[in-house]
Structure 1
Amino acid sequence: MRYRRFRDFYPYYLEEHRDRTCRRLHFAGSLLVLAVLAGALLSGRLVWLWSLPLIGYGFAWIGHFVFEKNRPATFRHPFYSLMGDWVMFWQMLTGKIPL
């Protein structure tokens, strides 16, 4: 299905993340991405930036393939999926979605 707006996509995105362990792996990966990004920028070791996609997608894909047993939406909707990951991260951080 094609989505014209992120607002229409996000409910589908949440349906693809019903498993709590999958969501926790997304959260952990996103948090680690932020930590490595901050460390790289503060230390000036920008070579660490190459690891950001590996960290973010690695945690998420393990969650999908092992726990959620579905195919990550990234393969069909890369931009909206990236947005969804950060919205879901924020909602978990603020308690709107259970962690």
Structure 2
Amino acid sequence: MVGVASEAKQKINLISVLLDSIVVQVKGANAPTAEQLLTDVERQQLIAILETTLNVLKSPLVETGMLKTAQKTLKEASGKAAKGSLQKGLGKLMDAGADRIAELLIKLLT
């Protein structure tokens, strides 16, 4: 059980770093409006979800519903990034974040 807890903690730390990075990049996105990966509203929603998820990950009890929401939102945003050419790096980072959240959910729920 200690090994599982340690592995989950490592996954949480990795996800926290990824989500922090995504939030910083989304907040600092300065592409022209027509080339933006997300609308202003979508960007604000993504930042709110990711910041809430970061707070959830720091709490003693992990709320899986919030993790699922963050995973879904990141997958949707990374799909939008794949369609454009300017922000593919951010899209790949979002996709990686969603994948790490999925791994954590599997670990927590099994």
Q: What TM-score does the superposition give when structure 1 sets the normalisation length?
A: 0.37
Q: What TM-score does the superposition give when structure 2 sets the normalisation length?
A: 0.35
Hey, which of these two has a bigger chunk of helix by percent?
2
